Amino acid sequence: MGTAPAAGFAESLGTERTAETRRTAGTARAAGTAPAPMATSFAELGLPAAPSAALTAERITAPFPIQAATLPSSLAGRDVLGRGRTGSGKTLAFGLALLARTAGRRAEPREPLALVLVPTREPAQQVTEALAPYARAVRLRLATVVGGMPIRRQAAVLRGGAEVVIATPGRLRDLVDRGDCRLARIRAVVLDEADQMAGMGFLSQVTALPAQLPADGQRMLFSATLDRRVDRLVRRFLSEPVVHHVDPPAGTVGTMDHRLLHVTAEDKRAVTIRIAAREGRVLLFLAGKRAADRLTRTLPAGGIPAAVLHGGKSQPQRGHALARFRSGEITVPVATNVAARGIHIDDLGLVVNVDPPADHKDYLHRGGRTARAGARGRDVTLVLPDQRGSVNKMMADAGISARGTAVHSADAELARITGARTPSGVPVVIAPPVAVTHAGGTTAGRSGRRRQAARILPPGSGRGAVRTRSVPRRRSAA
């Protein structure tokens, strides 16, 4: 592909933070283009009948701003650079166009037709789950290929044929090197969470992609944040893209309340436990895996159902914890930054940074787990005395004005802000994973989860379709 226009798109977006804070939703910028029309239905955007009917079946009737802004361009085959805050509907913004433009074609063994590249396993699974109903509607097969799961099983899925591959960079490279995946027939590629890929050491792998892809294919790049780090990807990957930055930055979302709670080192643990004991769900973020493991052992002993999410856990273990959280069996996931992107949880009203993140982007992505799809949410950060300077700088970099309050674990103010209360003290036991039933048999939870994430087959494919999940959840415009 050719390069984008000389002025770096990501660089220019990065210098517009103050202006963007004042900008209203629905803005589009591209040479010779007008602001994107804000349609009130998917039919107005030109989406074909089959995915439109699937949206109706999923009770999604009106597009979110980023979907209304980008779908006309992406359905027309244009390269797109899109920025929308976490929870704004980016997945369907690129996914519906990718599926609609791939529909009617059939992949040969090892030769997918479309690719979605994401930084880690969690976003890959989220994208797969979000797109599965619409892929079935247009009779396309999805394959999810990520690290930490058996590569031979993933290679077998690709040998069987899959039109759309959702992949992490490292595992995709491994499969290409083995000859199990060929990219010559891919006509549409999406980079999702591009800024995280740029910051995780994947830049060389991703920038090498264009040389392996057809020169006339469509490219789309989406993220909640776009800054100077992404500019190299933009220049290498996109050709004269239509640029959409829709919604205000995450820190200015009107439905999200940001609070800084100033605590002492001696009282921080008690504050954390009382917040975790609140009536209702809460997501706790900690800095490291060991600290997350320790807190997860402490909370159930005090009567608080909790589970841990971090990179040291297998994908089946993390998927099991999330499923139980969504079902209400667990009320407190204790996470590191592994859950800060790509994890969609409906109706989560409170996120607590027990340990403040080091980067303002991580702060925005952590907080993006709440106040999704127009719902209200609160993002609370516990701040020790020696952290005040770094936290204030982080908030300034994020463009957020947060109210600070000094609290103690026994204070009524802590309870008013977070719903904190005294835990019951009655230990709870978190049951191990149960067996998962699949088409063709029953397997243990670990291997079953792996098989569950491997492939989505359309109806009438001649083989049993593997379901993406068994836990009911309310649908939203992902």
* CA–CA separation, 371 and 378 (whole Å): 7
* CA–CA separation, 406 and 167 (whole Å): 44
Give the per-residue pLDDT at 6: 33
DSSP structure class, residue 69? H
N residues, the chain: 478
CA 328 to chain CA mean position, Å: 21
Domain boundary (364, 389, 418) is at: 418
Longest CA span, the chain: 65
Is 467 within a domain?
A: no
Which tens digit of pLDDT belongs to each residue from 319-359?
A: 778 778 878 888 898 988 765 555 666 667 788 999 998 88
Claim to verify: residue 344 and residue 287 sit in the same structural domain: yes
Which tens digit of pLDDT belongs to each residue from 238-281?
A: 888 999 876 554 444 455 788 999 999 999 999 999 999 999 88
Of residues 378, 307, 387, 372, the one with CA closest to residue 341: 372
Give the per-residue pLDDT at 270: 96
Claim to verify: residue 268 and residue 197 sit in the same structural domain: no
> What type of residue sits at position 194?
A
DSSP lists the bridge partners of residue 333 as 307
* CA–CA separation, 161 and 155 (whole Å): 10
> What type of residue sits at position 28?
A
Crossing angle for the helix pair 315-327 and 445-454, to the nearest 10 degrees = 90
Claim to verify: residue 109 and residue 199 sit in the same structural domain: yes
Is 476 within a domain?
A: no
Give the per-residue pLDDT at 1: 36
Residues in the chain with pLDDT values less than 50: 1-37, 249-253, 371, 373, 435-456, 459-476
> What type of residue sits at position 231?
D
CA 19 to chain CA mean position, Å: 26
* CA–CA separation, 393 and 423 (whole Å): 34
Q: What are phi and psi of 301, to 5 degrees?
A: -65, -25
**How many domains does the structure of the chain reveal?**
2
Q: Tokens standing for 121?
A: 């396993």
Give the per-residue pLDDT at 436: 42
Give the per-residue pLDDT at 216: 87
Q: Tokens standing for 446?
A: 């670990």
Q: What integer best gives the mean pLDDT of the chain?
A: 78
Give the per-residue pLDDT at 120: 84
DSSP structure class, residue 2? P
Q: Tokens standing for 347?
A: 């109706």
Give the per-residue pLDDT at 465: 35
Claim to verify: residue 244 and residue 261 sit in the same structural domain: no
Claim to verify: residue 162 and residue 274 sit in the same structural domain: no
Specify the pairing of strand 377-383 against strand 350-353.
parallel
* CA–CA separation, 307 and 317 (whole Å): 10
| Burial profile 205-216: b = 16 or more Cβ within 10 angstroms, e = fewer | ebeebbeebeee
**CATH code for position 128:** 3.40.50.300
Is 392 within a domain?
A: yes
Instruction: Tokens 């999604």: give the residue.
Output: 60
Is 463 within a domain?
A: no
Claim to verify: residue 19 and residue 130 sit in the same structural domain: yes
Is 3 within a domain?
A: no
Claim to verify: residue 265 and residue 212 sit in the same structural domain: no
Give the per-residue pLDDT at 260: 95
DSSP secondary structure, 274-310, as one string: HHHTSSS--EEE-SSHHHHHHHHHHHHHTT--EEEES
Q: Tokens standing for 79?
A: 């390269």
Claim to verify: residue 272 and residue 403 sit in the same structural domain: yes
List, edge to edge, every strand of the sheet that includes 350-353: 306-309, 332-335, 283-285, 350-353, 377-383, 256-262, 403-406
* CA–CA separation, 107 and 102 (whole Å): 10
Of residues 186, 204, 197, 258, the one with CA closest to residue 226: 197
Q: What are phi and psi of 377, to 5 degrees?
A: -160, 165
Angle at 10 between CA 8 and CA 11, to 5 degrees: 65
Q: Using CA atoms in the order 243, 238, 365, 86, what is the torsion angle rounded to 10 degrees?
A: 50
Query: Coil, strand or helix: which one is 242?
Result: strand
Q: How many alpha carbons lie under 13 Å from residue 29 in its C-beta half-sphere?
A: 12
Domain residues for 123?
9-248+437-456
Count of C-beta atoms within a 10 Å radius of residue 105: 12
Claim to verify: residue 306 and residue 261 sit in the same structural domain: yes
Handedness of CA 217, 118, 226, 3 (dihedral sign): negative
Q: Which residues contact 210 (CB under 8 A, 6 or more apart)?
A: 1, 236, 237
Claim to verify: residue 210 and residue 336 sit in the same structural domain: no
List, edge to edge, every strand of the sheet that includes 188-192: 27-29, 242-246, 80-84, 218-223, 188-192, 114-117, 164-167, 142-145, 455-456
Is 426 within a domain?
A: no
Is 324 within a domain?
A: yes
Handedness of CA 286, 118, 162, 458 (dihedral sign): positive
Is 4 within a domain?
A: no
Claim to verify: residue 311 and residue 343 sit in the same structural domain: yes
Claim to verify: residue 412 and residue 441 sit in the same structural domain: no
Q: What are phi and psi of 191, to 5 degrees?
A: -105, 115
